[in-house]
């Protein structure tokens, strides 16, 4: 072998070795993903969904993905800013309420309409599928991992809500603009605020009550602050709020292919269902806390529930008309949402 050939062979072997080392380094790459959310760590989704999800991702990645959780807005900002924190790369992952940014998720709002859905697990399957089919463009700036709902929404009030008339004039917290419009139609005075502010607002008399599902009541001490809880006949709740676990696109794209597969395997309809299932289990806990506190828990009968449904139907009409002005076929989306909910409730 000539000197020139030997030199070329040595260079080629060195290049091959460098590529092999680079490949091995990539295969051993570890990443830390920061996940930011707005509730205390003891609340349902942090304790029953986010922490187990993070542990599952870490285990399936062989420890090469570390998920660092930041609870109760500990990285700064306010709950309505969480989606943008993920979009802008302030953090890698966020879990947030879509209704905290009004006017942004117009197509996704359909699931917030009155008496739309009931149990969270099937509703979450339906909602994630709905988003993928009809509202994916609203999440184009992030990597959507899971879109889900909570279980049946209900009232928690200082004084009893035994019928439609007894809600009149009460200052009631609503979690989104659609829910606030519903409260207005029902005769209440809606007060919009993120859920972490509810405890102080009730304590200080800013609120006479709140609309939230059972699952979040223990972490907010609701059963200690109010003694009346009102729910409705039938399988659907008064309202539903929608949530999303989202990831910064660049944080996802920088992952090696095998770690992307781990994230992908922990995304989608089944992950949405897992979060919904956590909500359903949390509802049972919240209800038991109120029962043990000796609180009044009223389920309005079918006839009274129908009065609420009839009155609240105007909210759907308002929403359809509004989104029509944004070139969105609201009537079609309502029908699609109901069809998916029916499908996943079978």
Distance (Å, rounded) from C-alpha 43 to C-alpha 30? 29
Which SS3 state, helix, strand or coil, does residue 149 take? strand
What are the pLDDT tens digits along the chain (346 aa)?
Answer: 554 465 555 545 545 554 444 444 445 789 999 999 999 999 999 999 999 999 999 999 999 999 999 999 999 999 999 999 999 999 999 999 999 999 999 999 999 999 999 999 999 999 999 999 999 999 999 999 999 999 999 999 999 999 999 999 999 999 999 999 999 999 999 999 999 999 999 999 999 999 999 999 999 999 999 999 999 999 999 999 999 999 999 999 999 999 999 999 999 999 999 999 999 999 999 999 999 999 999 999 999 999 999 999 999 999 999 999 999 999 999 999 999 999 999 8
Q: Comparing C-alpha atoms, which of 43, 49, 35 is closest to residue 274?
A: 49
Total count of residues recorded for the chain: 346
Q: How far apart are CA 160 and CA 234, in angstroms?
A: 20
Secondary structure of residue 119 in the 3-state scheme: coil
Whole-prediction pTM: 0.91
Sequence ranges of the domains in the chain:
30-151+241-281, 154-239+296-344
Homologous superfamily, domain 154-239+296-344:
Bacterial extracellular solute-binding protein, family 7 (3.40.190.170)
| C-alpha–C-alpha distance, residues 237 and 224, integer Å | 23
- State the Cα–Cα distance between residues 308 and 321, nearest whole angstrom: 21
Q: At residue 268, what are phi and psi to the nearest 5 degrees?
A: 100, -165
Q: Map tokens 């759907």 to a residue.
A: 316
Exposure string of 201-234, with b = 16+ CB inside 10 Å and e = fewer, is bbeeeebbbbbbbbbbbbbbebbbbbbbbbbbee
Domain 30-151+241-281 classification at class level: alpha beta
Q: Is 228 helix (H, G, I), strand (E, B) or coil?
A: strand
Three-state DSSP class for residue 76: coil
CA–CA separation, 188 and 43 (whole Å): 28
Alpha-carbon distance of 155 to 82, in angstroms, equals 26
Cα dist from 10 to 14, 24, 159, 251, 308, whole Å: 6, 21, 85, 38, 82
Sequence-ordered alpha helix ranges (H) in the chain: 3-27, 44-45, 51-60, 82-88, 120-134, 177-185, 198-203, 217-220, 222-225, 249-253, 257-265, 269-292, 302-324, 330-344
Strand order in the sheet with 209-212: 189-192, 171-174, 209-212, 154-157, 228-232, 296-300
**Fold match flag (30-151+241-281 vs 154-239+296-344):** yes
């Amino acid at each position: 072998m000539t000197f020139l050939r030997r030199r070329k062979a040595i260079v080629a072997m060195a290049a091959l070795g460098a590529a092999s080392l680079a490949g091995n380094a990539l295969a051993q790459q570890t990443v830390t993903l920061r996940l930011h959310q707005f509730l205390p760590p003891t609340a349902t989704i942090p304790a029953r969904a986010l922490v187990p999800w993070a542990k599952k991702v870490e285990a399936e990645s062989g420890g090469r993905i570390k998920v660092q959780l930041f609870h109760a807005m500990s990285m700064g900002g306010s709950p309505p800013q969480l989606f943008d924190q993920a979009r802008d790369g302030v953090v890698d992952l966020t879990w947030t309420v879509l209704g905290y940014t009004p006017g942004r998720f117009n197509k996704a709002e359909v699931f917030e309409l009155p008496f739309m859905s009931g149990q969270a697990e099937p509703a979450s399957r339906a909602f994630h599928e709905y988003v993928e089919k009809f509202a994916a463009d609203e999440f184009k700036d992030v990597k959507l991992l899971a879109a889900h709902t909570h279980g049946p929404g209900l009232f928690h009030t200082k004084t009893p809500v035994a019928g439609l008339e007894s809600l009149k004039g009460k200052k009631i917290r609503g979690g989104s603009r659609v829910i606030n419009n519903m409260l207005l139609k029902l005769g209440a005075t809606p007060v919009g605020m993120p859920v972490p502010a509810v405890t102080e607002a009730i304590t200080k008399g800013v609120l006479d009550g709140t609309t939230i599902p059972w699952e979040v009541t223990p972490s907010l001490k609701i059963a200690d602050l109010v003694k009346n809880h009102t729910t409705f006949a039938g399988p659907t709740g008064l309202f539903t709020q929608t949530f999303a676990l989202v990831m910064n696109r660049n944080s996802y794209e920088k992952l090696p292919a095998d770690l992307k597969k781990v994230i992908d395997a922990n995304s989608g309809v089944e992950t949405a269902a897992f979060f919904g299932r956590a909500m359903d289990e949390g509802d049972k806990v919240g209800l038991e806390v109120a029962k043990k506190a000796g609180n009044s828990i009223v389920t309005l009968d079918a006839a009274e529930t129908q009065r609420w449904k009839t009155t609240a139907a105007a909210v759907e009409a308002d929403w359809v008309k509004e989104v029509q002005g944004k070139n969105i076929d609201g009537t079609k989306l309502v029908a699609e949402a109901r069809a998916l909910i029916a499908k996943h409730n079978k």
